[in-house]
């Protein structure tokens, strides 16, 4: 039986700036937020399918989307855990190692 599915996470990346919030109609502090979705096999092997960076108002959580490439240039490292970014690739490597081991051990 194969267990698969999807999920998502919101990651608060700290304060960003003070700006005018369209919803609150006042100057408010904004925070940088990452919202991403992932696909998983057996809840362990995951890969990110979508990611968006948002500037969100601290009061109402409404805001605007930011360009991912520009935001990622300012970050020291990716806020997405390694297991979410490369988990499915690790599964592929494990399957390849098993297949190569089986092929190598069979007599010709």
* pLDDT tens-place string over residues 67-79: 999 999 988 888 9
Confidence (pLDDT) at 7: 92
User: pLDDT grade, residue 108 (50/70/90)?
Assistant: low
Distances (CA, A) of 25 to 21, 51, 57: 5, 28, 11
Residues 3-7: what's their mean pLDDT?
91
Confidence (pLDDT) at 16: 87
* pLDDT tens-place string over residues 18-33: 889 989 989 999 999 9
The rounded Cα 107 to chain-centroid distance in angstroms is: 44
- The DSSP annotation for 26-83 comes to EEEEEEEEEEEEEEEETTTEEEEEEEEEEEEETTT--EEEE-HHHHHHH-SS-SS-HH
pTM: 0.78
Spans of all domains in the chain: 4-105
């Amino acid at each position: 039986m194969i267990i698969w599915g999807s999920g998502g996470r919101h990651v608060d990346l700290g304060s960003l700036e003070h700006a005018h919030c369209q919803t609150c109609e006042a100057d408010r502090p904004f925070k940088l937020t990452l919202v991403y979705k992932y696909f998983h096999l057996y809840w362990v092997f995951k890969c990110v399918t979508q990611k968006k960076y948002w500037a969100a108002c601290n009061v109402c959580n409404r805001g605007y989307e930011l360009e991912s490439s520009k935001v990622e240039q300012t970050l020291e490292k990716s806020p997405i855990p390694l297991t979410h970014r490369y988990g499915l690739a690790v599964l592929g490597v494990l399957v390849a190692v098993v297949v190569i081991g089986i092929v190598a051990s069979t007599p010709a």
